[in-house]
Structure formats: C-alpha cells, structure tokens
Amino acid sequence: MTLADRIAIFREHLEEWLRGLYHGMITHPAYEKIEKEAEDAEDEFMLACFPDAFGVPSPVSYYTAELLPYLEREFEAWERRLWDRESLIERKGQQYHF
C-alpha cells in the first residue's frame, strides 16, 4: 500500500467522522426540534377542530365534524398520541430541559 493510498483512506475516514460529528451536534437536534414543533402545531389544530373528543364542549363541533372524513387517519394517530402522553406540561418542559 502506497503512501497516497493510505492518505486517501485516512481522508475518507476523516470525512465520514466529520459528517457524523456535524450530524450529531448540529443537524439532528435541529430536526428533532422541528419535528416536535410540527407535531405541536398539528396537535393544536386537531384540538381546535375536535375538542369534544376530550370532553371539552364546542359550539363549532357541528361544522368541524365535516372535516373528519378527510382527517380520519390523522385523527386516530393524534388521539392515540395524546392519550399516551403523560402531560402537555411535561412535553413543553422538555424544550427547556427542566
């Protein structure tokens, strides 16, 4: 193995390591935060549309019930996700590392 080959192999390993470092330190936490914010926005929309699913009376439930056929899959996943959470305060507190 020549010196040029060893240098090329070292550069490949170094590039791979630096890519992993960048992903672990910069991009992964950003993706995680973006996903949580998107999930929170979806939760807020669904709760505004279907508050009666959790026992909160709403005068607009008659009109938002028309959205249910279009949001059927999202509604089931949203309801399951909310019932599995321990509390909304815990979820929001994770942002601030309490």
Query: Per-residue pLDDT tens for 25-63?
Result: 887 877 878 888 888 888 888 888 888 877 888 888 888
Residue 43: name the closest of 77, 11, 7 by CA: 77
Query: Per-residue pLDDT tens for 76-89?
Result: 888 787 777 666 66
Quote the distance between the C-alpha of residue 58 and its chain's center.
28
CA neighbours closer than 13 Å in the CB half-sphere of residue 61? 11
CA dihedral 6, 10, 15, 19 (to 10 degrees): 140
pLDDT of residue 36: 82
Question: Of 8 and 63, which is predicted with more confidence?
Answer: 8
Q: What is the pTM of this model?
A: 0.57
- The conformation of residue 85, written as its DSSP 8-state character, comes to S
Residue 58: name the closest of 44, 73, 70, 47 by CA: 47
Question: Of 18 and 29, which is predicted with more confidence?
Answer: 18
